[in-house]
Amino acid sequence: MITRKIPHFDLAQIAASGQCFRMEQDAEGCFWVPAGETAIRIRQQGDICSFDCSEEDFRDFWESYFDLTSDYQVFLDQIDPQDTYLGAASRYGGGIRILRQQLWETIVSFLISQQNNIRRIRRCIDNICSLYGEEKTDRSGRSYHTFPRPEALAGLAEDQLMACNLGYRSKYVVRAARSVVSGDFDLARTASLAYPEAREALMGLYGVGGKVADCICLMSLHHLEAFPVDTHIRQALERHYKAGFPSDRYRGFQGVLQQYIFYYELLGSQAAKDNAPLAF
């Protein structure tokens, strides 16, 4: 068990922020986080977090996954004090960190997210993991399925994942898997690219438009300058930034602020929390 005091880190906020779709809170109030081919149980009390993993696993994977070496106070301190809306959003969601998720899992997750709501996205991903992932057991003895590798999905018929409730998104995911397996899309190379080139490469995948590419760039590749604009963000911009979001002021970490705004907008009402489509 690894225990750390971590400011500006709230697992409940991260779980509800629309970045990841397999993280969940258990009956004891702990968070269970599967990521790629591993999983962890975390207990949080205030800013004290206990990670049920070895020191090596924490250092080699989870510390980076949760972006724990970054000082988010630096971002918060740069918010314009005259911008009352952004100030309120950052206070409301100030425990959110930008995750460093595995690229393949993030591609599939956001292909599924298009015109979909969070509850249904979670169900879709659970379905494909149960059917096509590898069954494993975590340190506590809990059984789970890993996120399916591209090879597990590339041989499927394009409509086969409709049985997992993906609907028309089934062909997006299957074609993406085929592109990876064939070598037409290189995961490692894309992960090494700067933001503009990575965004362009991602948009070469069938079904990936600019918004989805920006989500992947931000929430997997950690290009903090990416600023995905979905319906929630667009509405916020129309209400509060009629002349456009002041990106120049926040150059290099616009995506952090995007997450504060998105979370603030998403949880503005119970209906939005439960049913609003992400529209990526």
User: Which of 194, 123, 195, 199 has its CA nearest to residue 161?
Assistant: 123
| Sheet containing 31-35, strands listed edge to edge, beginning at the edge strand earlier in sequence | 2-5, 48-51, 38-45, 31-35, 24-25
In eight-state DSSP terms, residue 158 is: T
Beta bridge partners of 128: none
Task: Report whether 31 contacts 15 (CB < 8 A).
Answer: yes
The CA–CA distances, whole Å, from 23 to 42, 76, 154, 170, 240 equal: 11, 25, 25, 22, 31
Query: Radius of gyration over alpha carbons of the chain, in Å?
Result: 18
Q: Is 211 a catalytic residue?
A: yes
| Annotated active-site residue in 5, 136, 171, 211 | 211
Residues taking part in catalysis? 211
